[in-house]
Chain A
Amino acid sequence: MSEQQDYEPRIVAFLCKWCSSAGSDLAGVSRIQYPANATPITVPCTGAISPMYILSAFNKGADGVLVSGCHIGDCHYIEGNYLARRKMHLIMQLIEFIGVEPNRFRMSWVSAAEGAKFAQVITDFVDDLQPLGPQDKLKKAERV
């Protein structure tokens, strides 16, 4: 088996408690098959995600970072996802700007009823990350 086939991308997924997190749950209880590469981290709202979380995830060795929240207009806190949309746009531009592959960061809107969409988002993300190989640009070097 070649090394490329051994490689499984590690995704850190920041999921909104009110929608995407429940969406991932629905994907689970509906027994939808999707790759197990994502480590979910539930946050109260996408608006609560500091860009530092994303940089930190890459710094600790994530191959891809997913931010998923409620559709525009559906935020439990009325405007959290609008604020997230702005911040995530900026951090995405910055990551791209310094020469990291744009496919390593992704944002999606997944509601609590969209289990199938959640599975699709993860599947697509893993497919896109697979050819990029391990992320070592922002990753902290191993201690010797």
Chain B
Amino acid sequence: MINVQDIRDTARDMLTKGEVRAVIGYRRGSRGMLAEPAFITDPAQAGDLVWDPTCFHNLSLYLVEDRKFLTHVRKTANAPIAIVAKGCDARSIVVLLQEHYFKREDVYIIGVSCEGAGVVDERKLAPHLNGFQATNAAFDGDDFVFTTAEGEKCLPAREVMADRCLECRIPFPKEHNIVFGEDKTGRQLAEPFAALTRFETQGTAERWDFWSHHFDRCIRCFACRSVCPMCYCDECVVDSITFPVTTETTAEDKANRIRWIERSAVRSENITYLMTRAMHLAGRCTDCGECERACPVNVPIRLLNNKMEREAREQFGFEPGASIGGPSLVASFLDNDPGQFIR
């Protein structure tokens, strides 16, 4: 069990001593029970930090944003930035370090173990609350305790936990500077890739029916891209408005730029977008599940990323975010990679 006071004390200490220039963590949000990302620079505010089942954001996104901001203002950081990271978040940071997005000494990882639990899925929680809004959520061993107008309600964590947490294999941040909570790696709340395995029992035609339905619904708001710490490219290949325009860019240059896909939200373009995204995340996605949570029309994006993750794991023995010095999936190979499909 993690004592949230420990996280606050660590943050306050480091900010007071000037060891870090900011702490990225979670604080109580303004909407019901939900936590929101907090950027704390003043030691007096360290008491705002919380750790509860609604801390689902992958905060490593803000390390990327910070890096982009520093580049933009042409400044170098004078001290590292501290970040509260769950198991999946810490793996995302490792992937970013693998790709040399920033240096290890630029970030101070305050690891938090999810232990026997994980984060809540609001959609799963809703039916349990009799229509009331929860105003607070807390861990209690393997249970979650929600406070509503009706009083406190204790629910077994595995009934309301997000799928990604149930299927999580390593709910512990291996890469950390300091860590709170026990390492419960090896807990099996659900079979890894359970949802994917269920989906794959269907035939080609059923799979197409399922996906064409979802591809039609995608509105291409790019929320999945915005929320993803791995989607850090300034110039996104599937989005022509992100192509840089400088004073030297002529009208002809603009007209002749390759537009791989159109920006219109029609099925064929949505497919190409989502598949390209899945390919770009292959071997990099650490299954933090933020894309699926952020999706306003509930496209099951996680399935695509999971498919790539499992393929990498089973065929190439590749584990994303395993070690900072490790190879990347598509820039490495093994002599015995599968090749039976090649004629």
Closest approach, in angstroms, between the C-beta of B214 and any C-beta of chain A?
9
Please report the C-alpha to C-alpha distance between residue A106 and residue B315 in the assembled complex, in whole angstroms: 19
Residue in chain A with minimal CB distance to B331:
A83
Question: Which residues of chain A from 89 to 125 have any CB-CB distance to chain B below 8 Å in the complex?
Answer: 89-102, 106-109, 121, 124
Given contacts A56-B272, A86-B337, A108-B342, 15 further A-B contacts (CB under 8 A): A55-B275, A72-B339, A82-B335, A83-B330, A87-B330, A89-B311, A90-B330, A93-B307, A93-B308, A94-B275, A95-B275, A100-B204, A107-B343, A138-B271, A141-B267
Question: B342 touching A52 by the CB < 8 A rule?
Answer: no
A79 at the interface (CB under 8 A from B): yes
Residue in chain A with minimal CB distance to B267:
A141
Contacts of B210 in A (CB 8 A): 99
Residues of chain B having any CB pair with chain A under 8 Å? 200, 204-212, 237, 260-262, 266-269, 271-272, 275-276, 278-279, 282, 304, 307-308, 311-312, 315-316, 329-331, 333, 335, 337-339, 341-343
> Looking at the complex, which one of B212, B260, B337 makes contact with A52 (CB distance below 8 Å)?
B260
> Looking at the complex, which one of A97, A109, A138, A141 makes contact with B307 (CB distance below 8 Å)?
A97
Q: How large is the interface on A (under 10, 10 to 19, 20 to 34, 35 or more residues)?
A: 35 or more
Residue in chain A with minimal CB distance to B207:
A99
Contact A107 to B341, CB < 8 A, known contacts A99-B204, A138-B268: yes
Contacts of A76 in B (CB 8 A): none
Residue in chain B with minimal CB distance to A66:
B343
Question: B308 touching A99 by the CB < 8 A rule?
Answer: no
Closest approach, in angstroms, between the C-beta of B282 and any C-beta of chain A?
5
Please report the C-alpha to C-alpha distance between residue A139 and residue B271 in the assembled complex, in whole angstroms: 10
Question: A99 touching B343 by the CB < 8 A rule?
Answer: no
Contact A140 to B269, CB < 8 A, known contacts A52-B237, A86-B316: yes
Contacts of B212 in A (CB 8 A): 99, 137
Question: B278 touching A94 by the CB < 8 A rule?
Answer: yes
Give 28 pairs: A residue, B residue, CB < 8 Å, sorted on A.
A52-B237, A55-B275, A55-B276, A56-B261, A72-B339, A82-B335, A86-B316, A86-B329, A86-B330, A86-B337, A90-B312, A90-B330, A94-B307, A94-B308, A97-B304, A98-B207, A98-B211, A99-B205, A99-B206, A100-B204, A100-B208, A107-B341, A107-B343, A108-B343, A137-B208, A137-B212, A140-B268, A141-B268
Closest approach, in angstroms, between the C-beta of A59 and any C-beta of chain B?
5
Contacts of A100 in B (CB 8 A): 204, 208
Chain B contact residues: over half helix, strand or loop, or mixed? helix
> Looking at the complex, which one of A72, A88, A99 makes contact with B208 (CB distance below 8 Å)?
A99
Please report the C-alpha to C-alpha distance between residue A86 and residue B276 in the assembled complex, in whole angstroms: 16
Question: A52 touching B276 by the CB < 8 A rule?
Answer: yes
Question: Which residues of chain A from 12 to 48 have any CB-CB distance to chain B below 8 Å in the complex?
Answer: none
Please report the C-alpha to C-alpha distance between residue A113 and residue B107 in the assembled complex, in whole angstroms: 54
Contacts of B307 in A (CB 8 A): 93-94, 97
Contacts of B207 in A (CB 8 A): 97-99
Contacts of B341 in A (CB 8 A): 89, 92, 107
Closest approach, in angstroms, between the C-beta of B323 and any C-beta of chain A?
19
